[in-house]
Amino acid sequence: MVENRPFLNVLTHLVLILGVAVVVFPVYVAFIASTQAPGTFFRGVTPLLPGPAMVENYAHMLTEGMSTSGAPPLWLMLINSTWMAIIITGGKIAISIISAYAIVYFKFPFRTLAFWIIFVTLMLPVEVRIIPTFAVVSNLGLLNSYVGLTLPLIASATATFLFRQFFLTIPDELMEAARVDGAGPIKFFKDILLPLSRTNIAALSVIMFIYGWVQYLWPLLVTTDSRYYTIVMGIKRMAAYADQQPQWHLVMAAVILAMLPPVLVVIFMQRLFVKGLVETEK
Amino acid sequence: MARIEISGVSKVYPGNVEAIKDLSLSINDGELVVLVGPSGCGKSTLLRMIAGLETITGGTISIGETVVNKLEPAERDIAMVFQNYALYPHMSVRGNLEYGLKNRGTQRAEIDKRVADAARILEIEAFLDRKPRQLSGGQRQRVAMGRAIVRQPKAFLFDEPLSNLDAKLRAHMRVEIRRLQRALGTTSVYVTHDQLEAMTLADKLVVMNGGVIEQVGKPLDVYSDPQSLFVAAFMGSPGMNLIDIESLRAIGADLPGSIPTATGTVGVRPEDIVLEKPAGPHLTIAATLDAVELVGSESLVYANAKGIEKDIILRSSGIHRGNPGDVLALHIPHSALHSFARESGRKVAAA
Amino acid sequence: MQTKRTIFSNKGLPYLLLAPQLAITIVFFIWPAAQAVKSSFEREDPFGLRTSFVWFQNYTRLFTDPNYLNSFGRTLIFAVSVTFLAMAIALLLAAAVNRLIRSSNVYTTLLVWPYAVAPVVAGILWWFMFNPSIGILPYALGQFGITWNHRTSGTDAMILVIIAATWKQISYNFLFFLAGMQSIPNSLTEAAAIDGAGPFKRFWTIVFPLLSPTTFFLMIININYAMFDTFGIIDGTTSGGPNQATNILVYKVYDDGFLGLNIGSSAAQSVILMLIVIALVFVQFRFIERRVQY
């Protein structure tokens, strides 16, 4: 469409640059802070230009951490977070895709009931059932374990619904052709459905990885042993101490490291990320 | 290769919807049977029951010597070509052709040979390593055919395989399917709603309506001697002119004396109506010209006769030069008249 | 409910396929939720030795407790502000990006990544920016004669958590608004342009009304986000303070139950929150059912 409005074009870019600035600024400030030498934060305002201690700060945090806060070195927490995110991602996708398969390609008594039970998970976020869920995990002896960290978060109505939606768009004839070709339910799932779901699985993985990484309340509840701390919950502990002993340069190094993995995933897998996000919430 | 025997088959869907009512049909070895009828007539349901994709509520279907009612589709040794082809989108053409054979544990060498043969016959050798989405509609159709051929099944089942193609390609593929089926000699059941396709393909034509068979026969026999009003109207484009006998009597048309007393409706094919007075016994209706459709090689003339509700359509070869309002004399030879009973709509034979 | 035209006839397999999902759901979702409902009608003695059934006493106490009512009010202010700000800013940015052709991807990338930032991390980022002694923003505000201290001022603390929560949510809303705008057929705006509507008029009379399904959907999602997913933001910054000013419902449940060990009251609060989520999910799905043709 021909539209010759230079003023509007300038305004558009102005709005966007301002928006990007607002979005990026806190992270910029955090990064600058993470490069400062110790002592910078005893007085005066946060500097806006990089300091000299970037390498030392990050190295210190990765290998030793802030021992005063009782948190372990960052490398351990980063590994824990990575494990947690990966297990949750894999688990959610695995159990959701087979649930959706059962619901779409089979008819059996209590099918609708099963669907509603899965649906119910949407209505019960962990935040509203903290104590009894904690009690269950504690009774099962799952505190301070990867199982306890991940298993209760693996149920997923959104992922199940996404796969259900996707399966419903696959032409019926494909399954019929496969049956005529001699494929049973397992073979059809493995040979046809799974390969066709590749893009959806990838898109969902991006979203679920982020979901797993940013978990905060749940690790806070089920881990008391610092060996199982995740980075996102560990940061809170450090920040709480930073106010007493101004070690903001170290805390901000941890903040940057805690953000980096999922943010990089979003940036480098933007197409899958957008697809996953927009489709799971339908 | 095998006979297919359908006896007393019925299909009732939940909610007591009866899709097929006590239907029997024999399909001979090597025969190409076309099931034709309007949508909802049960033709696809019947085909899918033969395939094992729908359960059979009553009666039996046997392929060869085996009653297949309880057998899985894969155990029936049939191959099916779907309307939307149902090619596996993530597999190459070769992968699509091989899949059914692999599932049956066919030897590698045998698979390669069959795929190569099918590809040669269908002229799809050049695309064997492409994915279905890289193919045109016609090429996909060939692959779908190929997937059926490599299996060397007892029977081919075709579910409107050409309706996603454009008219020209459809005509071309029709000829190919006919040629291929003849060459392979495999028993085939072919479902279509297109009566032209049905006429040109069938060894045996089965016209269905409302879950029952209206008529079975050779295509030309069905066309020239329809056994019911439904078949008369359905076959042919346009279908037979059907005129209430009372309105003919009322305008004093010269009906033959031999016309059966049970007759309620008489029918005449558009091509049997002539504008020049024929030699033999005939009746004549005065009508005014309504419209002319020029199709090129022939013309369809729509004429309105006083006392007759519907337009009478006649087909004349060449270009009919006439204008709306022209007065025409429509001559119908007595020999071209078909009589249908008042209540049942079935054909009544001349007394 | 919809299935395929033909289905597999195996009897046991579907149950096997559903078992893991259902087991986890029942053990970690439904059973605890039922426990919460049960304890909301009970009271434990101070030593945790005996529990007695007290009917609705936990609930009646809650609704006469000024702290709880305050928490309701605070949640309302917080949720409404976050929803409105995050949606308005995202709409503006999406409309701007939607005008661009070449540079739209670059801007999108630069705008969407905060989605991947954990709420608690977002909280700490802004907590640091607003730090009264060293933060850059109080310093800047000081130049205008405004003193900022979220440790003592409830208003400042509320503004802080609203900004942090909004900052994180803009990316999400932006993507949905952009997707919504891109799904509006070009022919509609072209027709409006031929009818003489300028860009702003086109936006308000064509694009925005057609976005209303997206807007409504986002409103529900944002309220849900502000009420439940912002736990980390509160815990990472104000911990509900100062003086209960930012003690939103979801934080109070945790604070009273997990830290304060007041099981009955916390359970009753949980049940109330559940009812709110159920209402939100119900509205969301009722509405989507009508919008999307399954």
* A8-33 average pLDDT score: 92
**Can you tell me the distance from the alpha carbon of A231 to that of A212, in angstroms, rounded to the nearest whole number?**
12
**B207-234 confidence digits (pLDDT tens):** 999 999 999 999 999 999 999 999 999 9
Q: Indicate the average pLDDT of chain C.
A: 88
Task: Report the candidate in B282, B243, B279 with the shortest Cα–Cα distance to residue B263.
Answer: B243
Residue B199 within a domain: yes
- The whole-model pTM stands at 0.86
pLDDT score, position C215: 92
Q: Indicate the average pLDDT of chain B.
A: 91
**Can you tell me the distance from the alpha carbon of C53 to that of C58, in angstroms, rounded to the nearest whole number?**
10
Q: What ipTM did this prediction achieve?
A: 0.90
- What DSSP letter does each residue of A196-239 carry, written as one string? HTHHHHHHHHHHHHHHHHT--HHHHHH--SGGG--HHHHHHHHH
Nearest-Cα distance to chain B for C182, in Å, is 25
Please check the confidence at residue A8 and state whether its pLDDT lies above 50.
Answer: yes
* CA dihedral sign of residues C249, C251, C255, C259: positive
**Can you tell me the distance from the alpha carbon of C84 to that of C191, in angstroms, rounded to the nearest whole number?**
31
The dihedral region occupied by B164, where left means phi > 0, alpha psi between -120 and 50, and beta the remainder, is: alpha
Which has more pLDDT, B21 or A279? B21
pLDDT score, position C48: 67
Cβ <8 Å between C97 and A16: yes
Q: How confident is the model at residue C10 (pLDDT cuts 50, 70, 90)?
A: confident
Residue A229 within a domain: yes
Nearest-Cα distance to chain B for A173, in Å, is 5
* CA dihedral sign of residues B62, B64, B70, B73: negative
Range of the domain at C262: 67-291
Please check the confidence at residue C177 and state whether its pLDDT lies above 90.
Answer: yes
Residue C76 within a domain: yes
Cβ <8 Å between C175 and A263: no
**A228-238 confidence digits (pLDDT tens):** 999 998 888 88
B78, B84, B85: residue with CB nearest A180: B78
**B271-327 confidence digits (pLDDT tens):** 999 988 888 899 999 999 999 998 888 899 999 988 888 889 999 888 888 889 899
Residue B348 within a domain: no
What's C78's domain CATH number? 1.10.3720.10
C171-209 per-residue burial string, b: 16 or more CB within 10 A, e: under 16: bbbbbbbbbbbeeeeeeebeebbeeebebeebbeebbee
Angle C249-C252-C258 from CA coordinates, rounded to 5°:
140
pLDDT score, position C286: 78
The number of folded domains in chain C is 1
What's B205's domain CATH number? 3.40.50.300
**Can you tell me the distance from the alpha carbon of A179 to that of B131, in angstroms, rounded to the nearest whole number?**
21
Residue C117 within a domain: yes
Q: Is C103 on the interface with B (CB under 8 A)?
A: no
Residue C21 within a domain: no
Tokens of B182: 């003849």
Residue B137 within a domain: yes
What single letter denotes the amino acid at residue C157?
A: A
The dihedral region occupied by B64, where left means phi > 0, alpha psi between -120 and 50, and beta the remainder, is: left
Range of the domain at B253: 238-341
Residue C107 within a domain: yes
pLDDT score, position C29: 92
B52, B82, B90: residue with CB nearest A177: B82
**C117-157 confidence digits (pLDDT tens):** 999 999 999 999 998 888 889 889 989 988 888 888 999 99
The number of folded domains in chain A is 1
Task: Report the candidate in A255, A233, A193 with the shortest Cα–Cα distance to residue A70.
Answer: A233
Q: Is C143 on the interface with B (CB under 8 A)?
A: no
Shared domain check, B102 and B33: yes
A1, A5, A125: residue with CB nearest C277: A125
The number of folded domains in chain B is 2
pLDDT score, position B304: 92
Let me know: does B90 contact A196? Beta carbons within 8 Å. Answer: yes
Shared domain check, B87 and B203: yes
Element holding B268 (H helix, E strand): strand B263-268
What's A83's domain CATH number? 1.10.3720.10
